[in-house]
DNA sequence: GCTTTAAAAAGTAACTT
DNA sequence: AAGTTACTTTCAAAAGC
């Protein structure tokens, strides 16, 4: 019947319109965060999967888009914190986190907790630190992980402390304030993590 | 102190219970007559009454139903309800002598006595019963089906068990977690 | 889902001294 | 840099938006 066709067309239009809006949102947020294309594409796949499983019901397109982008960053090993995603979204950090948990579970994303190591490249380039300093920071974090110095600590704080230490070891010292700035944590946090790493990893530093 | 007997470290930190003390209550007059009462209908539909003796906070509703929170033992919870009943009777309200209540949630703390690696637990335990986002919160959230409680595990080995209805739920939860950790060689 | 209550855990944040 | 306060997470009930 004609009615049926009109309805299909209407639904189809709405669906396409919503998808187009979601994709433009993903692109807008990704651009604001300077994310590479593969992350945007991953986010688009996550979003489409969420739509296919009707996970949008009762949720805002923007919320799901933001959660999809957050998940995509983690899947691609270029994590952004919930706060960073929230900064370029109109949705609150709390809502993004809640939606992320939901789609993550429903889509079976099985994402492991974010590793501090994944933050090293971004933070180091933000501090103009060479690859050698970067490698040393990664090594410090690897050891820290083995010695249980990362349990319960914020990944960004631990990564920042490791970078602070490696920048000194590599003769390219960055102040706690500079590192804190790019890592988005306070100097107090860097100090606490740094003291812990320094004493438990016998990485003696002469200042 | 409790290093070798996690079960002896169990401590009830808070009990939430509900009860029905009468058929209906006039909250505005209650709020004005009770000393430590607080009432802002715009903010919350119930009267908030804080008791000092057993340090308990009571939420009193117009339906005659009440919620008690803050009790650290079932005994103090009972005493708190009795005191609330007496205070209402002192205001000339008919309140039954033997008030009954229902425990809705018990929050218990415990200590495994040994630090634990949350990352390894996050990998070893059933992924869909666990949530561990150190960026957001330092504790690992573990949802058990039996007993039906939620446990927060910390790197220090300390735990918070919540959602239980009886004290025994916390003990069983700790027992189960201890065996699961030893089965995985994580403790 | 939100509002209000209470309480612990450990990390991080924001102020004040 | 030390202290203090406060917020993150979990839970449940209540009446109503």
Q: In this structure, are B87 and B29 located in the same domain? A: yes
| Cβ within 8 Å, pair A153-B138 | yes
- Domain range enclosing B146: 112-184
Instruction: Report which secondary-structure segment, H or E, holds A8.
Output: helix A2-33
Task: State which of B51, B69, B103 marks the end of a domain.
Answer: B103
The complex's ipTM? 0.95
| Predicted confidence (pLDDT) per residue in B153-166, tens digit | 999 999 999 999 99
Rounded distance, CA B65 to CA B42, Å?
19
Q: In this structure, are B42 and B69 located in the same domain? A: yes
Q: In this structure, are B35 and B93 located in the same domain? A: yes
Q: In this structure, are B124 and B75 located in the same domain? A: no
Query: What CATH number should be reported for the domain holding residue B71?
Result: 3.30.310.10
Domain-embedded: residue B119: yes
Q: Give how far A173 is from chain B: nearest CA, Å.
A: 26
| Predicted confidence (pLDDT) per residue in B115-128, tens digit | 999 999 999 999 99
Q: In this structure, are B84 and B145 located in the same domain? A: no
Q: Which residues of A52-89 are buried (b: 16+ CB within 10 A; e: fewer)?
A: eeebbeebebbbbbbbbbbbbbbbbebbbbbebbbebb
Q: In this structure, are B52 and B78 located in the same domain? A: yes
**Confidence (pTM):** 0.96
Rounded distance, CA A25 to CA A17, Å?
12
Q: Please report which confidence band the pLDDT of residue B2 belongs to, taking 50, 70 and 90 as the band edges.
A: very low
Q: Which residues of A3-16 are buried (b: 16+ CB within 10 A; e: fewer)?
A: eeeeeeeeeeeeee
Domain-embedded: residue B8: no
- Residue A18 tokens read as 């919503």
Q: In this structure, are B117 and B153 located in the same domain? A: yes
Task: State which of B85, B103, B121 marks the end of a domain.
Answer: B103
Q: In this structure, are B178 and B143 located in the same domain? A: yes
Residue A31 CB-density burial (10 A; 0-12 exposed, 13-18 middle, 19+ buried): exposed
Domain-embedded: residue B42: yes
Domain-embedded: residue B131: yes
Asked whether residue B97 carries a pLDDT value surpassing 70, the answer given is yes
Kindly state the average pLDDT of the residues B37-60.
97
Q: In this structure, are B28 and B99 located in the same domain? A: yes
- A185 contacts: CB under 8 Å, gap ≥ 6: A154, A156, A157, A160
- Residue B129 tokens read as 């019963």
> 3-class DSSP state for residue B26?
coil
Residue A26 phi, psi (nearest 5)? -60, -45
Q: In this structure, are B132 and B77 located in the same domain? A: no
Q: In this structure, are B23 and B97 located in the same domain? A: yes
Nucleotides on chain D that have an atom closer than 7 A to a protein CB are: 1, 3, 8-16
- Residue A196 tokens read as 């812990």
Rounded distance, CA A204 to CA A13, Å?
64
Task: State which of B48, B68, B103 marks the end of a domain.
Answer: B103
Q: Please report which confidence band the pLDDT of residue B5 belongs to, taking 50, 70 and 90 as the band edges.
A: confident
What total of structural domains would you count in chain B?
A: 2
Residues of chain A with pLDDT under 50: 206
Q: Strand C: list protein residues with Cβ under 7 Å.
A: A 94, 98, 151-154, 157-158, 184-186, 188-189, 192-193; B 13-14, 16, 38, 43-46, 48, 50, 55, 57, 59, 67, 69-70, 105, 107, 109, 137-139, 152, 154-156, 158, 160, 162
**CA A93, C1' D7: Å apart?**
14
What residues of B are in the A interface, CB distance below 8 Å?
Answer: 115-119, 122-123, 127-128, 131-136, 138-139, 154-155
Chain B contact present for A114, CB below 8 A: yes
């Amino acid at each position: 019947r004609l009615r049926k066709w009109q309805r299909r067309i209407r639904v189809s239009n709405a669906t396409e319109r919503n998808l187009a809006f979601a994709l433009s949102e993903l692109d807008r947020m990704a651009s604001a965060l300077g994310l590479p294309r593969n992350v945007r594409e991953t986010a688009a796949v996550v979003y489409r999967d969420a739509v296919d499983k009707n996970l949008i019901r009762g949720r805002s397109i923007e919320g799901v888009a933001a959660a999809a982008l957050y998940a995509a960053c983690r899947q691609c090993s270029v994590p952004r914190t919930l706060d960073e995603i929230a900064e370029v979204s109109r949705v609150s950090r709390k809502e993004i986190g809640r939606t992320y948990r939901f789609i993550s579970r429903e889509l079976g994303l099985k994402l492991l907790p974010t590793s501090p190591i994944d933050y090293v490249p971004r933070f180091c380039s933000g501090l103009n630190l060479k690859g050698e300093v970067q490698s040393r920071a990664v090594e410090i974090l690897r050891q820290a992980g083995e010695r249980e110095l990362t349990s319960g600590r914020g990944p960004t704080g631990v990564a920042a402390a490791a970078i602070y230490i490696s920048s000194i070891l590599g003769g390219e010292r960055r102040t706690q304030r500079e590192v804190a700035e790019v890592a988005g944590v306070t100097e107090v946090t860097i100090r606490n993590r740094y003291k812990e790493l320094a004493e438990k990893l016998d990485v003696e530093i002469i200042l | 102190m409790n290093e070798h007997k996690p079960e002896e470290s169990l401590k009830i930190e808070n009990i939430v219970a509900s009860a029905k003390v009468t058929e209906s209550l006039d909250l505005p007059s209650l709020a004005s007559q009770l000393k430590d009462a607080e009432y802002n209908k715009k903010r919350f539909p119930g009267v908030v009454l804080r008791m000092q003796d057993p340090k308990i906070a009571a939420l009193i509703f117009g339906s005659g139903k009440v919620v008690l929170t803050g009790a650290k033992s079932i005994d103090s919870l009972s005493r708190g309800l009795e005191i609330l009943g007496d205070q209402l009777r002192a205001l000339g309200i008919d309140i039954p002598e033997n008030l009954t209540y229902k425990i809705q949630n018990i929050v218990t703390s415990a200590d495994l006595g040994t630090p634990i690696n949350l990352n390894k637990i996050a990998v070893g335990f059933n992924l869909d019963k666990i949530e561990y986002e150190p960026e957001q919160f330092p504790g690992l959230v573990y949802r058990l089906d039996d007993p039906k409680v939620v446990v927060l595990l910390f790197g220090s080995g300390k735990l918070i068990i919540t959602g239980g209805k009886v004290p025994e739920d916390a003990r069983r939860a700790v027992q189960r977690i201890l065996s699961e950790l030893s089965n995985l060689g994580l403790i």
